[in-house]
Structure 1
């Protein structure tokens, strides 16, 4: 969906071949050093009352799960999973269905409806009046019943992508979904800039292959280090589902591209293929042993014609100029990575961050004994269609052995002129990262809780943030065991009030993290102020010139708010640009010039 922005006067202050690049364990991490007095260290445990530590972000609200989605920590049948957003609604996926929160007031979200539909993993996405949900477990039923679907073959079983009509979001109607051979662990919406009548889904199933007696066409094949070139095995491919928007009930698989194939031999298993891989450098087994036979997450960016696939043993880059027929153009591997899990592009599509879910999200992987290259982010620049490794980033503070912690889901925060991401780390909380310089990522905000502990539970209890995403001015988080959180960034030396406000001016009608849409910043006083703040931070604007630019910019805004003649506003903005002494192509002058044009 296209982004839009409030007008300035509404501002509120307060190609198919791919080589595998092996990244050596000797590469240095760019993770920042941990301050000895970091408040995240040794946070007192609890459940809904665990101590919270924050830096440059405020926890606005924490809404606990309620029946029929509540259960003791660790009950996998009721885990909160991924998030999607539509209008003023946050849709929280759950292994038991989904919940809808009204977030029109982020400080006081309200649960407006719940829909029980078991089947895990429950990842959700939205497109107009349609809601899609991933279903992987064998208990999933076509009718969303809670009685399960016992037996190795059951005609009532549903594993695949559910489709709901949410034109009345309080009363969703399930449409015929699409059954798949390995279910749906995750799925990615892919729009086509040249086709407004259809949307596509890239489906990734990661579990066992169904019997052909239950779903025709399913064919199991064991993992193999030898080339696999015969038959039509369900592994080593993804599903491409076409959804006609005028008739979504007719959605169907239209392609199953073998995006891991060796272009020379035609072997389906052309990338990492399992048992020959060494132990993880930590001495523990990979989870699973890297066998690139499907993707975990694929993040599509249709506007630039690319998708990034986090695919078990590899990170891959796809050409999606034809959404129905994605083509691999590059692939990378890394002996430090256990399980390539998810991916995020920067706004201009020149960088991508891949995450490693070492331990599968259920293990403590942020201990002081774990190296910063393990269970971390790998940052890449995209140069001439190829992925070039730049650095690692890992949560820069150790977590306890009672906390499942590893890199997980996040999204961009649309600060003009910078690449900033908010990312979930399960019980490591969230970390806000500036990766404008991919070789030197830096944490600029965080929120963390103490370990989950209740009178009846001890040890490691599954919890923490599954996802933390920026949506229309706030950070919102799906907490696996505790519920749903809303947060607001606060100004600091690393992120100014102008930058936060400029990011908040970008508004989306809907948001799916795996369907990236470019953020466009309309000219505004906040955007101009953000670039001035950045120029001060990098030293290109200082002293008297900085003071005069700020004075003229503030005067222009005051005049604009007071409905003064446009020519008076223009005069102040022109003076601000002139007094800066910066080149015409500098970000500051360009932002001031664009803002000036809105008053001419």
Structure 2
């Protein structure tokens, strides 16, 4: 199992419940009675939370591999320490060995690291198995996967074309590599580098983009944030002012990768996404902080100056991307992947560094993160405002970004914990907008932003600081949902696997329905559209949500539950036609003028249609 750390004392044993009750989640438990429902809630909350009003995350004991833990609604299934060669025991916070971003394909989780990457078999989430380790230094090691190809970001000057560990000294070195590596992982035990595309500022992050009319290629948007390399090392690189039309700043790079010949991958365009449409100036967005100092009174760190994008999240299904570009948040048209166009740009006087972005599934909202402090500072202290180092939630209205609210980790962290908003993904609960997100040493937070103006936390997991006396780099770089489980890439400690647990905020029925939305591969920055197959879990999830609104009459709610249970029993025998009839009959009892009941009625009829095709 590796070192999972110490669980805070006072935990209670979960209450056993019947299969029928579990199937219907807390919505079903309401029918058992108030006492039983309350008992289940107690079983899901840490006893410390029940004993007093203090958040269990406050005051957790420190330790590299034995820190105390606290959680609610997010159960740790397994922890794997970083393998040999990927940590420094004498300095666990050494950034040269930091775990970074993740990607998923089939049964594998690919975990990036500043010194290479590791591949885990997560077919049994409670028992991840390390399959392959590849040492290939260069930071920051962000990964994406597409088919048999694995893409890796490299930005540091120590990176070498041959993946060597000896570094690359000097201002100009022919062996240096900064850009995007491409590996063939058709043999998962022996990844082979098949291409290495050099870029002028390296690749801090990258984004895979596909085009509906271009199935033969995948495009890679390269976000370089480091210094511009010498033109003597890579022809065409120029660290010049915005008046130079050939400057390597104020742009991204687009790599075209032929899927049948990835060795021919090459940069095909360098879009100027920050251009002022009226003047043509390529530095047409935010060129200086809006105030001399950060609202906290400290110096700006980083400085919100838009010379680059830190990260871009593409949503190819809707032809849009959201760019987090240092001083601005962008909405981008990617209908032509090689030539993205800016649609809108926003600023925020509280944002130090627009860092990353996530769409909701409908493509009507964007959550932008602010990496105030660059990820290495303690920015979740009791003195830090909820609008600093937070998420900013925007609605997309008529192609424009409209600010609605902030969301920040709701519990203060210590001065020994680097903490700020970082990478996350949607949790595919139907009918709701829910995100799981890493907050470095602030842990993992799951929050609901269905109401853009009123986001709220519904689950969390946290550990104590890596060190009790000093701030050592650590905590969760990424927390992503993939095929029924949440995985966390912990910078200093390794890989964690979680499952969501039912609570007053999330029904088991909703958790079960989310697990029916599966993908063959998952790259968070190449956001896929989530769809849910017609199923009994989906019906029960919408039933739980309809109950939550308080608009469904008791006899109607009882009938829906009974009819659906009976229909499910019928599907396992010769009475499939009766199951279809049961579902259609009970759908007519719902008040479809109420949105939640109309959604449930549609789910019932969709399931009836699906079953009738199998009858």
Indicate which of 40, 45, 63 corresponds to 1:46: 63
Q: Distance in 2 between matches of 1:581 and 1:384?
A: 31
Q: Distance in 2 between matches of 1:251 and 1:542?
A: 60
1:189 has 2:208 as partner: yes
1:532 has 2:543 as partner: yes
Q: Distance in 2 between matches of 1:107 and 1:398?
A: 30
1:563 Cα offset (Å): 1.9
1:371 Cα offset (Å): 0.1
1:228-377, aligned counterparts within 5 Å?
A: 228-274=242-288, 277-377=291-391
1:553 has 2:533 as partner: no
Q: Distance in 1 between matches of 2:109 and 2:315?
A: 22
1:79 has 2:104 as partner: no
Q: Conserved in 2, the CA contact under 8 Å of 1:220 and 1:234?
A: yes
1:276 Cα offset (Å): 6.7
Q: Distance in 2 between matches of 1:592 and 1:196?
A: 36
Indicate which of 66, 69, 73 corresponds to 2:86: 69
1:494 has 2:511 as partner: no
Q: Distance in 2 between matches of 1:391 and 1:169?
A: 43
Instruction: Decide which moves more: 268-277 or 588-597.
Output: 268-277
TM-score (norm 1): 0.92
1:594 has 2:571 as partner: no
User: Which of structures 1 and 2 has the larger relative contact order (alpha carbons within 8 angstroms, sep 6+)?
Assistant: 1
For 1:29, the equivalent position in structure 2 comes to none
Q: Distance in 2 between matches of 1:379 and 1:158?
A: 37
SS at match of 1:579: coil
TM-score (norm 2): 0.89
1:584/1:314 CA distance change after superposition, 3 Å: closer
For 2:124, the equivalent position in structure 1 comes to 105
Q: Conserved in 2, the CA contact under 8 Å of 1:277 and 1:290?
A: no
Q: Distance in 1 between matches of 2:245 and 2:568?
A: 68
Q: Conserved in 1, the CA contact under 8 Å of 2:293 and 2:300?
A: yes
4+ aligned runs moved over 2 Å, structure 1: 228-231, 274-278, 578-585
For 2:532, the equivalent position in structure 1 comes to 521
SS at match of 1:145: coil
1:575 Cα offset (Å): 2.8
For 1:122, the equivalent position in structure 2 comes to 141
Q: Distance in 2 between matches of 1:584 and 1:542?
A: 12
For 1:58, the equivalent position in structure 2 comes to 75
Indicate which of 543, 555, 558 corresponds to 1:544: 555
For 2:172, the equivalent position in structure 1 comes to 153
For 2:579, the equivalent position in structure 1 comes to 569
For 2:454, the equivalent position in structure 1 comes to 440
1:540 Cα offset (Å): 2.2
Q: Distance in 1 between matches of 2:505 and 2:590?
A: 22
Q: Distance in 1 between matches of 2:339 and 2:369?
A: 25
Q: Distance in 2 between matches of 1:176 and 1:431?
A: 37
Q: Distance in 2 between matches of 1:599 and 1:128?
A: 33
Unaligned runs of 5+ in 2: 1-21, 26-48
Q: Distance in 2 between matches of 1:564 and 1:178?
A: 59
1:275 Cα offset (Å): 6.2
Q: Conserved in 2, the CA contact under 8 Å of 1:375 and 1:406?
A: yes
Q: Conserved in 2, the CA contact under 8 Å of 1:198 and 1:244?
A: yes
For 1:506, the equivalent position in structure 2 comes to 517
For 2:185, the equivalent position in structure 1 comes to 166
How many residues matched? 561
1:583 Cα offset (Å): 4.2
Q: Conserved in 1, the CA contact under 8 Å of 2:290 and 2:349?
A: no
SS at match of 1:598: helix
For 1:26, the equivalent position in structure 2 comes to none
Unaligned runs of 5+ in 1: 1-11, 15-33, 223-227
